[in-house]
Structures are given as C-alpha cells and as structure tokens.
Amino acid sequence: MLEFRLMKKEDVPCVARMEEEYFSEPWSVKAFEDALDKKEYLYMVAVERQEVVAYCGMYQVLDEGNITQVAVRSDMRGRGIARKLLQDFMQKGQEKGVGAYTLEVRVSNQGAVRAYEACGFVTECVRKDFYASPREDAFIMWKR
C-alpha cells in the first residue's frame, strides 16, 4: 500500500540515487539535505513496503511553487503514482500558501506530460533548447 509523506533526511540517499538515474543534471545528496532544511522548499515521497518509490519537490516564491523534480521508480510507472503524489503534494503546497504551480518538462516525456495534465497543468509555452544533455525543448506548464 502506498503512503505519501514529507521527505525525511533518511530518504535522501534513495532519492539521490533515483535522481542520478533519471535526470541528466541530478541534484546531489547535499543539495537535497540543504533543501530539506529550508522553509521555502517542500519535498514529499511515495513509500511502498518501506521503500521510496517516487518523490517530488518544489521551491516556493511568494504564492508560486516551482516544481523542481517529479520522479517515479521505473518499475512502478504506469500505476498513477505521480498523479496521486502530485495531488497530495499540491494540497500541502496550498497549506503553505501556494496558489499556482509551474514546471518544465522535456517535450519527449509524454508520460510525465499526461500526468501533469491529469493534475490540471496546461502547457503555456515552449522553451527552446532548455535541456542540454541531450539538447531538447521544454514545455513550460502551469496550474493556476
């Protein structure tokens, strides 16, 4: 059974390993640890059988949340975990005063785009050559 909760320091090594595997410019263990200590960041994880299977995070500026990462372990994809985690996550963000969310996603990552759309995000523009490794455009999506 899935549990959604705030990320703890002991989750960071697992999250950092996932980050390394799924992102071309991954955050380090230290970057995650530092973020957990700052009130303008919010991180949550999805846990199944005491293992982190997904995580997401944001940086809050005033009443806007810039979603920095969303990742689901590859063997857990296709089960709606990202959507459920994002819904819980945005509820926690609202409790912190967030009224709008933004994120960027590779145009080729259609699974993620569909999950974001299911949570109410809308593509507002394309940022050319946003990603460097490999070079690719990004959709800039908002949920207002």
Between CA 58 and CA 42 the distance in angstroms is 5
Q: What is the CATH number of the domain that holds 57?
A: 3.40.630.30
Number of domains the chain contains: 1
User: Prior bond to 26 cis, omega within 30?
Assistant: no
- Quick count: other Cβ atoms within 10 Å of Cβ 18? 20
Longest Cα–Cα distance in the chain: 40
Q: How confident is the model at residue 57 (pLDDT cuts 50, 70, 90)?
A: very high
Q: How confident is the model at residue 125 (pLDDT cuts 50, 70, 90)?
A: very high
pTM exceeding the 0.85 threshold for the entire prediction? yes
Q: Of 104, 30, 101, which is closest to residue 63 (Cα–Cα)?
A: 101
Q: Of 75, 7, 12, which is closest to residue 41 (Cα–Cα)?
A: 7
pLDDT in tens, 64-86: 999 999 999 999 999 999 999 99
- pLDDT at res. 38: 95
- pLDDT at res. 3: 96
Give the structural domain span for 20: 2-143
